[in-house]
Structure 1
Amino acid sequence: MMRSPHVRVEIHLPRVCAAAGAIRARIGREVRLIAMIKADAYGLGAAQVASALDGQVDEFAYFSLAEAREVRRPGLVTGPPDGAPDEFAALGVRPAISTLDEARRFAGRRVALHVDVGMQRFGFSPDRLGEFISICGDEECFAHAATLPQAHALARAARGRVRMFHSAASSLLDRPAAWQHAVRPGYALFRDAVRVTTPLRLVRPTTGPVGYSRFRAERLGIIMAGYAHGLRPAPVVVNGRPQRVLEAGMNTAFVTVHPDDREGDEVMLLGDGVSPETIARATRTRPHEALLRACAMGERVWRVE
């Protein structure tokens, strides 16, 4: 996707820190707080987010070694370990071990054993945990649990056999039984920290069917963002009133407007009444994807106060 120079993406780092503080208050000090900053911290900027969260979280989680190389802070790489063992060690990050070949390659190093409890992407089945412990040791294992029963499956396999295990991301933060030794929130840190806006470039009456889809409306606004920037038809807010993107072209889009709306007025694409969940429902996707798409629409600005 392209970034539109007409779209402003404001990232409020104090809100990220506040979210981390709220999670810390909920889980206490005995449960480790691992901030998941994969995919450039869901589009917010991994380097900026990591700097803001220094001292507030215990460590960071990435998907790839390349992401860890960019941020250069210790933690866990949850994706396939595509890199040399020495580089993982130099960066202070632990690879996720999902296969016996990976286990043998990283034998004697600090690793996290990746147990598949139902996601069916990477990892090995819980009944093979002992086999991997015999090669890599019993320091840590983790899973990507989408449900509480999946978190329980990891606990049954690991309790009494592995010193640290964890499986809860943002969706299980409200289930204390899933916290185990650590939690790995990502979306929960970022969902309320982004504000995406663009001005009305033009407000005009119509004279018949409009656009490619030939819809009808008495009056329209036009914004300088389209599907090339990841925009889809979805709710927006203009001057505090709910409106909607009716049709997205490649570089522009039509939005509904109130009679009092004027050229230059701010159109809220995300934030202040338009949540990632609202966008996700309208576009039939997940809130995580809606957030990442919104962050990629325009030029990012980081606010520190």
Structure 2
Amino acid sequence: MRPARALIDLQALRHNYQLARETAGAKALAVVKADAYGHGAVRCAQALEAQADGFAVACIEEALELREAGIGGPILLLEGFFEASELALIVEHDLWFVVHSLWQLDAIEQASISKPLNVWLKLDSGMHRVGLHPADYQAAYKRLLSSGKVAKIVLMSHFARADELDCSRSDEQVAVFNAARQGLSAEVSLRNSPAVMGWPKVPSDWVRPGIMLYGATPFDQPQSVAERLQPVMTLESKVICVRELPACEPIGYGGGFITDRSMRVGVVAMGYADGYPRQAPTGTPVSIDGQPSRLLGRVSMDMLCVDLTDLPRAGLGSQVELWGKNVLASDVAAHAGTIPYQIFCNLRRVPRLYSGA
């Protein structure tokens, strides 16, 4: 069978969750949306269930997948509901959900609810994606209370630039949030992964770690908490062909790389159809039998080429790590002009093999 596969270390996942909770000094919802950023939402949630304070997903479909797999703890719908009819499922499956728009508030008031709801009331503090306007926030909170349909309200917002440690925008958003919630008695949730790791003074009774759970840093610079993360996914394959090429020979589609000397080139069973970034250029790091090397030429749908020239023991059947513990996903993403979030989420076709359960 094709040797490409993703190895998922569930013990590393648990380590990263505990690190997030201890660093934040708060309760933590493990963010497992988008199939746990490509790591497998059900298996990741099962691995964390004994220690997690709850989980966060994007939508009700993702929540129901977890419930059907037996996950019984709190699950927060980060985008709330999209149709008023979903409230019946929210009640049936005991889900928490975000209210970010006035129409959702109207729907709650008009709905027939058999048991009280757990609502996370989202403020647009400056990201300008979703969230209530600060001028509407206090009134929305009071409407939820007076509806008689809400058991608990958590006040929340989301940072736009917390991954920029020298940017004042996060402080500005905190100031907007604090002004909007003045006088309201409720728990708060502001900190995502970069805020957990890099903004320790931001108040948060609940945090929402995402990318850090999977062992990747959201920062483009060294950071103390990032150094303690353990990569959860190792994407690997094998060399399936070796070419001995003289100088001045083109490699791959478009001839984007020309050999500058006699070279040994390994062909690896991995391509953009597996989720490896097509835009990754020559020089993107790989590890071959535990030794550093580099990508050569353009990534194809099913194959890519690597440099074996200075690795005389490497050859047919050699193990190639595309990212993992030797090659950080954030480094691959940086070379490819993207972010580790995207390369994880783009993973497909390769089987996921789990350890540390």
Equivalence for 1:86: 88
1:206, 1:219 within 8 Å by CA — same for their partners in 2? yes
Please point out which of 227, 231, 250 is paired with 1:209: 250
Q: So what's the TM-score if we normalise by structure 2?
A: 0.78
What stretches of structure 2 of length at least 5 have no aligned partner?
110-115, 146-151, 163-169, 216-230
Provide the rounded CA distance (Å) in 1 between the counterparts of 2:253 and 2:338. 23
1:158, 1:165 within 8 Å by CA — same for their partners in 2? no
Alignment of 1:24-35 (within 5 A): 24-28=21-25, 31-35=26-30
Query: Which of structure 1's runs of 4+ aligned residues deviate more than 6 A?
Result: none
1:109, 1:136 within 8 Å by CA — same for their partners in 2? no
Q: So what's the TM-score if we normalise by structure 1?
A: 0.91
If asked which structure has higher relative contact order (CA below 8 Å, sep 6+), I would say 1
Alignment of 1:243-258 (within 5 A): 243-246=293-296, 247-257=298-308, 258=311
Provide the rounded CA distance (Å) in 1 between the counterparts of 2:320 and 2:349. 13
What code does the residue aligned with 1:224 have? A
2:102, 2:132 within 8 Å by CA — same for their partners in 1? no
Provide the rounded CA distance (Å) in 2 between the counterparts of 1:179 and 1:11. 32
Provide the rounded CA distance (Å) in 2 between the counterparts of 1:12 and 1:129. 42
For residues 260-290 of structure 1, the C-alpha deviation after alignment (integer angstroms, 9 at most, x for no partner) is 3111010001112211210111111112112
Matched, 1:167 2:175: no
Equivalence for 1:198: 237
- Alpha-carbon deviation of 1:120? 2.0
Kindly tell me the number of residue pairs found equivalent between the two proteins. 299
For residues 193-234 of structure 1, the C-alpha deviation after alignment (integer angstroms, 9 at most, x for no partner) is 111110100111125222222122322110112122222333
Matched, 1:189 2:213: yes
Per the alignment, in what secondary structure is the counterpart of residue 200 of structure 1?
A: strand
Equivalence for 2:149: none
Distance change >3 Å, CA 151–CA 61, structure 1 → 2: farther
Per the alignment, in what secondary structure is the counterpart of residue 213 of structure 1?
A: helix
- Pick which of 144-153 and 193-202 moved more: 144-153
Provide the rounded CA distance (Å) in 2 between the counterparts of 1:292 and 1:152. 33
Provide the rounded CA distance (Å) in 2 between the counterparts of 1:159 and 1:58. 27
- Alpha-carbon deviation of 1:190? 0.9
Alignment of 1:83-162 (within 5 A): 83=83, 84-107=86-109, 109-137=117-145, 139-146=153-160, 147=162, 148-149=170-171, 150-162=173-185
- Alpha-carbon deviation of 1:80? 4.2
Per the alignment, in what secondary structure is the counterpart of residue 64 of structure 2?
A: helix
What code does the residue aligned with 1:212 have? Y
What code does the residue aligned with 1:269 have? L
1:154, 1:167 within 8 Å by CA — same for their partners in 2? no
Q: State, as a whole percentage, how many aligned pairs show the same letter.
A: 26
What stretches of structure 1 of length at least 5 have no aligned partner?
none
